[in-house]
């Protein structure tokens, strides 16, 4: 397998000749020669910076597509585990991160989910973030700070949803989450500013919940991954090169038809195209993951396992920042109304962020721009939050932004695992509105899958593609 051997140095560079066009002997000779040239130039320090910038790795052990939290967390865990013995390359098309979901998120962390996996991922990630200085420091004098705001979520349920809240509470506490159920009377006692009309039950998080700065988390993973030897390239994945493997029989393909994707075609910022061979590929492209699936010919009119696309696509969501000096400030939990509208404090100056996903019967906003729909706030968000906390009747919008959920239209849950059509391509995407908080534990799970061949710490088998091919959706009831 090209590039699959563990390597003694994590920081080698090779020129970009097409290695796959060479016979095996010439290929080894070429790699050896490039290594020798690299070593010589490193020792003699002959290469200028502009020349170095032109160097593009010709092959790697693990190629990661996507430099959001999932890509960089996976890169960090792999590099930390293998300590320079694995060549890891990460490709990101948007170095300004203007559209990257990770930096446009609200940064909420909670344990209030309905699926065991989601609860365990968030508990483990909370623990990682609590120890972030120890885990991700590069320079001890400048440790990462993700500005964590401890503040419990308060999920509210009407009569219809109360039993779900109760069942979720039982599962969450059995797994170690510290959450309490509150009757309307108790809610009024604890949060007198909340209107409990139509509310049957509340569930409030007492530990490990709140929000943090998403950019700081992404940057901390990025800095640490780079310090551990991960090579980052600004470029856009455009397609793949394949090798026919007539000797490999894939159980779900006709004999002799398995094609092995082993080369990625990358368009660089200057418009030039380069290719890189990989042993393993991790698709961490967020809402663009379905597009990468199409590049892998999935869902492009073929039969059988190749016939199904990766059903992950962008869904635009708006976040509104409102100013409301009369609102409850520090006393206010992160409120999730039964309608799906949410509101939380932002800083200490009377500002709050709020939003809501569109109802299933409403049209989805188009995803070809980043424009904000202010009417959606007026008609769909403001009335709901002002009904629940009347102080918000005086809220004024100060700012707003749009971002894209990486939405799995099959069941709104993530795919974490090997794609069954390939022996070397992993997917980690489809987290809708709860990916950033789970990224520390998900990155570790990806590392385990790639290095150990199975999930070791948290069993995430149900998040694999099997459920999709078996048509057995796995629904999370607490999607916000």
Ligand X SMILES: Cc1cc2nc3c(=O)[nH]c(=O)nc-3n(C[C@H](O)[C@H](O)[C@H](O)COP(=O)(O)OP(=O)(O)OC[C@H]3O[C@@H](n4cnc5c(N)ncnc54)[C@H](O)[C@@H]3O)c2cc1C
- Contact residues for ligand X, defined by CB under 6 A: 65-71, 91-94, 100-102, 104-108, 236-237, 284-288, 317, 319, 403-406, 429, 431, 433-437
Residue 202 or 433 with smaller CB distance to ligand X: 433
Tell me the closest approach of the beta carbon of residue 72 to ligand X, in angstroms: 8
Tell me the closest approach of the beta carbon of residue 403 to ligand X, in angstroms: 3
Q: Which residues contact 56 (CB under 8 A, 6 or more apart)?
A: 15, 16, 233, 268, 274, 276
Q: Which residues contact 432 (CB under 8 A, 6 or more apart)?
A: 315, 405, 406, 407, 408, 412, 413, 479
Residue 93 or 169 with smaller CB distance to ligand X: 93
Other C-beta atoms lying within 10 Å of the C-beta of residue 211: 25
Tell me the closest approach of the beta carbon of residue 97 to ligand X, in angstroms: 6
Tell me the closest approach of the beta carbon of residue 303 to ligand X, in angstroms: 26
Residue 87 or 93 with smaller CB distance to ligand X: 93
Classify 55 as helix, strand or coil: coil
Residue 328 or 403 with smaller CB distance to ligand X: 403
Residue 93 or 260 with smaller CB distance to ligand X: 93
Classify 456 as helix, strand or coil: coil
Tell me the closest approach of the beta carbon of residue 366 to ligand X, in angstroms: 15
| Pairwise CA distance, residues 431 & 185, whole Å | 35
Tell me the closest approach of the beta carbon of residue 233 to ligand X, in angstroms: 9
Tell me the closest approach of the beta carbon of residue 454 to ligand X, in angstroms: 22
Q: Which residues contact 16 (CB under 8 A, 6 or more apart)?
A: 56, 57, 58, 274, 275
Long-range pairs for 339-348: beta carbons < 8 A, 24 or more residues apart:
339/384, 340/480, 341/380, 341/381, 341/384, 341/385, 341/388, 342/106, 342/480, 343/385, 343/388, 343/389, 343/392, 344/106, 344/108, 344/151, 344/211, 345/149, 345/151, 346/321
Write out the two tokens for 102.
């990770």
Residue 102 or 478 with smaller CB distance to ligand X: 102
How far separated are the first and last CA of the chain, in Å rounded?
43
Residues 181 and 153 sit within 8 Å (Cβ to Cβ):
no
Lookup result for tokens 């009747």: 393
Tell me the closest approach of the beta carbon of residue 405 to ligand X, in angstroms: 5
Residue 252 or 370 with smaller CB distance to ligand X: 370
| Pairwise CA distance, residues 410 & 467, whole Å | 10
Residue 13 or 211 with smaller CB distance to ligand X: 211
Determine phi and psi for 55, rounding to 5 degrees: -70, 130
């Amino acid at each position: 397998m090209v590039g699959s051997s563990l390597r003694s140095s994590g920081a080698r560079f090779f020129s970009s000749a097409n290695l796959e066009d060479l016979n095996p002997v010439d290929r080894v000779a070429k790699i050896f020669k490039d290594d020798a040239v690299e070593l010589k130039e490193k020792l003699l320090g002959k290469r200028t910076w502009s020349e170095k910038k032109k160097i593009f790795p010709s092959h790697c052990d693990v190629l990661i597509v996507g430099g959001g939290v999932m890509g960089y967390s996976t890169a960090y865990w792999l590099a930390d585990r293998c300590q320079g013995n694995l060549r890891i390359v990460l490709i990101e098309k948007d170095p300004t991160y203007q559209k990257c979901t990770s930096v446009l998120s609200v940064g909420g962390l909670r344990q209030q989910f309905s699926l065991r996996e989601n609860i365990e991922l968030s508990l483990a990630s909370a623990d990682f973030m609590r120890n972030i200085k120890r885990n991700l420091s590069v320079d001890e004098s400048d440790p990462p700070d993700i500005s964590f705001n401890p503040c419990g979520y308060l999920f509210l349920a009407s009569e219809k949803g109360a039993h779900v809240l109760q069942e979720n509470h039982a599962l969450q506490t059995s797994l170690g989450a510290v959450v309490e159920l509150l009757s309307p009377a108790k809610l009024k006692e604890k949060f007198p500013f909340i209107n409990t009309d139509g509310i049957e039950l509340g569930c409030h998080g007492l530990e490990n919940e709140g929000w943090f700065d998403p950019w700081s988390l992404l940057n901390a993973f990025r800095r640490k991954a780079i310090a551990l030897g991960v090579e980052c390239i600004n470029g856009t994945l455009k397609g793949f090169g394949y090798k026919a493997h007539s000797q490999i029989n894939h159980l779900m393909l006709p004999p002799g038809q398995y094609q092995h994707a082993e080369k990625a075609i990358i368009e660089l910022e200057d418009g030039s195209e380069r290719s890189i061979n990989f042993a393993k590929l991790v698709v961490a492209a967020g809402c663009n993951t379905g597009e990468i699936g199409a590049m892998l010919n999935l869902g492009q009119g073929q039969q059988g396992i190749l016939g199904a696309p990766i059903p992950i696509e962008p869904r635009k969501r708006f976040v509104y920042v409102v100013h409301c000096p009369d609102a409850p400030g520090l006393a206010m939990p992160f409120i999730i109304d039964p309608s799906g509208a949410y509101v939380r404090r932002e800083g200490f100056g009377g500002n709050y962020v709020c939003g809501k996903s569109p109802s299933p019967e409403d049209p989805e906003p188009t995803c070809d721009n980043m424009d904000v729909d202010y009417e959606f706030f007026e008609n769909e968000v403001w009335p709901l939050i002002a009904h629940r906390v009347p102080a918000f009747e005086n809220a004024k919008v100060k700012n707003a932004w749009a971002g894209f959920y990486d939405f799995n239209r099959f069941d709104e849950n993530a795919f974490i695992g090997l794609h069954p059509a390939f022996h070397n391509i992993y997917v980690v995407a489809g987290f809708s509105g709860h990916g950033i908080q789970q990224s520390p534990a998900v990155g570790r799970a990806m590392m385990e899958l790639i290095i150990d061949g199975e999930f070791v710490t948290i069993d995430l088998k149900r998040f694999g593609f099997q459920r999709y091919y078996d048509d057995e959706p796995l629904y999370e009831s607490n999607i916000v």
